[in-house]
């Protein structure tokens, strides 16, 4: 018989409760990893993705030889790191002659690989390559807009999948109230073909227009890159069905209302 130990320390109990499944996930953490070999372009891209998600991201700088996301057996280390860091999203960078400047973005469910999208990075421009008033730089942690331009995001399977993963990657925490002043940036994704997407990050400024609706002005602040979709893998039907299950609503509120009614009588 296997003996299950229950935590006695209060700090450990709270940490386990944080990692437990919830009805509404407030924020998804992202794990950023390096492959056996990376280029200067990839190193800069991974560093700036971490900067954009600094509040909900963990970055490992050590090279990982055993991680090969699209190969059987090459996902074991990736799933171990997902469990260790409690991250449900990951960005993995590698560079080779066959696939230069390669980024694999994926999601995990219950610390098992859910789906994957592999993209090639072309025409990369870092934040430092843009000249603008630094006062316009968006605040990290603010809620971003997303603009998807092109019919491919609705008709092409690869681009529809990439759209889902990008929204999950930069989604941030779920909020009920939103301050307009916190909407200070926008990610613009333009589909130029069935395999290529232009990705840009812009600061958003609201200007006076003489009407109730303000005039919006976009200032490109970076990073900027062309994403070329190479491979993608959709989740298995059984795993998708398990991930899409809706948990039953808590009945605590209903019980409390019944008790209050009895007390009134």
pLDDT, greater one: 89 or 175: 89
Q: 224 has which bridge partners? A: 125, 200
- Write out the two tokens for 54: 């600094």
14: in domain: no
242: in domain: no
pLDDT beyond 50 at 20:
yes
21-30, 116-125, 166-175: which range is least confident on average? 21-30
User: What's the pLDDT tens digit per position in 220-264?
Assistant: 998 999 999 999 999 988 888 888 877 666 544 444 444 334 344
Q: What is the percentage of the chain residues whose pLDDT exceeds 90?
A: 52
20: in domain: no
64: in domain: yes
161: in domain: yes
Check if the beta carbon of residue 85 is closer than 8 Å to that of residue 29. yes
DSSP 125-178: E-GGG----GGGSPPTTSPPEEEEESTHHHH-HHHHHHHHHHHHHT-----SS-
pLDDT at 190: 96
How does DSSP classify residue 86? T
Q: Which residues contact 134 (CB under 8 A, 6 or more apart)?
A: none
User: What's the pLDDT tens digit per position in 139-170?
Assistant: 666 778 899 999 999 999 999 999 999 999 98
113: in domain: yes
- Reported pTM: 0.83
189: in domain: yes
Give the CATH number of the domain where residue 116 resides.
3.40.50.10480
pLDDT beyond 70 at 53:
yes
Check if the beta carbon of residue 64 is closer than 8 Å to that of residue 32. no
* C-alpha gyration radius of the chain: 22
Number of domains in the chain: 1
19: in domain: no
Determine the Cα–Cα distance for residues 53 and 118; give it in Å rounded to an integer.
20
Q: 203 has which bridge partners? A: 185, 219
Question: Mean of the pLDDT values across residues 92-98?
Answer: 95
Determine the Cα–Cα distance for residues 99 and 226; give it in Å rounded to an integer.
15
Question: Which residues span the domain enclosing 45?
Answer: 27-235
pLDDT, greater one: 46 or 260: 46
Least Cα distance to 171 among 211, 200, 142, 195 occurs for 142
Q: Tell me how far the alpha carbon of residue 51 is from its chain's centroid.
A: 13
């Amino acid at each position: 018989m296997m003996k299950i130990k229950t935590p006695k320390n209060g700090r450990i109990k709270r940490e386990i409760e944080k990692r437990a499944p919830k009805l509404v996930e407030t924020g998804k953490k992202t794990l950023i990893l390096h492959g056996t070999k990376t280029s200067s372009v990839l190193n800069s891209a991974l560093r700036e993705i971490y900067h954009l998600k600094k509040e909900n991201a963990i970055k490992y700088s050590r090279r990982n030889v055993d991680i090969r996301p699209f190969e059987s057996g090459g996902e074991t280390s990736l799933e171990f790191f997902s469990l260790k860091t409690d991250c449900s999203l990951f960005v993995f960078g590698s560079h080779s002659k066959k696939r230069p400047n390669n980024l694999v973005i994926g999601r995990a469910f219950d610390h098992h690989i859910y789906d994957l999208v592999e993209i090639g990075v072309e025409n990369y421009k870092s934040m430092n390559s843009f000249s603008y008033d630094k006062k316009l730089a968006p605040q990290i942690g603010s809620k971003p807009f997303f603009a998807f331009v092109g019919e491919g995001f609705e008709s092409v399977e690869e681009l529809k999948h990439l759209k889902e993963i990008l929204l999950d990657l930069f989604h941030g925490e779920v909020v009920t109230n939103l301050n307009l002043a916190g909407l200070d940036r926008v990610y613009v994704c333009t589909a130029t073909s069935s395999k290529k997407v232009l990705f840009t990050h812009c600061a958003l400024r609201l200007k006076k227009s003489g009407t109730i609706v303000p005039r919006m002005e976009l200032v490109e602040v970076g990073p900027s890159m062309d994403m070329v979709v190479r491979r993608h893998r959709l989740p298995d039907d059984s795993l998708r069905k398990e991930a899409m299950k809706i948990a039953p609503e808590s009945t605590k509120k209903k019980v409390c209302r019944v008790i209050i009614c009895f007390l009134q009588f």
